[in-house]
Amino acid sequence: MDSDLAPRVVRPTQRILTGQVVRLREGYPREVRIGQPVLVAVVTAASVMGLLVLLVRTLISSGGGGGGARRKWKELKQGPEFLVTPLRVRDAAGLLYEVELHGHLPQSALHPGDHVQLTLRPQDPDLPPKVERIVNLTTAQPLRPRTATVWSHLGPPLLLQAALGLLLLAGVGACSVLTG
């Protein structure tokens, strides 16, 4: 009988949801999936450049001098984690909706009782929609949660090394085509 009195939480189907923040639940980490083909391509291209740098370093100096610490394949494949915070919002009709906030916001950006306008994007059918953008109507502050991406996980040094490796392979391929 008590279950009839509890407000029912529904998932929004519309792209824009306007309402009042009822509750910010405890956040938990979720991992970003990294596609194996993307990872193999980046690591292979970076390895080409790494081999060239190792060859040059060996020719220039006889002291072994190691480079920076390299991350292991398993570590790269695991993917970055981002914070998921379930958020409950009540609209003007009194319906209670649950959505997910991915990433981090400033601590003072959102509080229970704030009136918000959320721009949503659907996820897997098993998960509530994801918040892409928030306009806190109480403070007139536009907010966009920031999450880790595959590219930020791999990091600028590895991506730069992969880009240089691709340029080196393209140069060698172009030379072999022109001279062959």
- 131-178 per-position pLDDT tens digit: 999 999 999 889 888 777 777 777 778 778 888 888 888 888 888 888
Predicted confidence (pLDDT) per residue in 117-133, tens digit: 999 999 888 889 999 99
Task: Tell me, rounded to whole angstroms, the distance of Cα 4 from its chain centroid.
Answer: 39
User: Is 50 exceeded by the pLDDT of residue 1?
Assistant: no
Complete domains list, the chain, with CATH: 9-29+85-143 (2.40.50.580)
Only one residue has tokens 């991506």, namely 159
Instruction: Work out the burial of residue 24: count CB atoms within 10 Å of its CB; fewer than 13 is exposed, 13-18 middle, 19 or more buried.
Output: middle
Report residue 104 as tokens.
């981090």
Instruction: Work out the burial of residue 129: count CB atoms within 10 Å of its CB; fewer than 13 is exposed, 13-18 middle, 19 or more buried.
Output: buried
Average pLDDT over residues 21-34: 84
Only one residue has tokens 């791999």, namely 154
What is the rounded distance in angstroms from the CA atom of residue 140 to the CA atom of residue 35?
39
Question: Cα angle vertex 4, ends 2, 10, to 5°?
Answer: 125
User: Is 90 exceeded by the pLDDT of residue 40?
Assistant: no
What is the rounded distance in angstroms from the CA atom of residue 4 to the CA atom of residue 176?
75
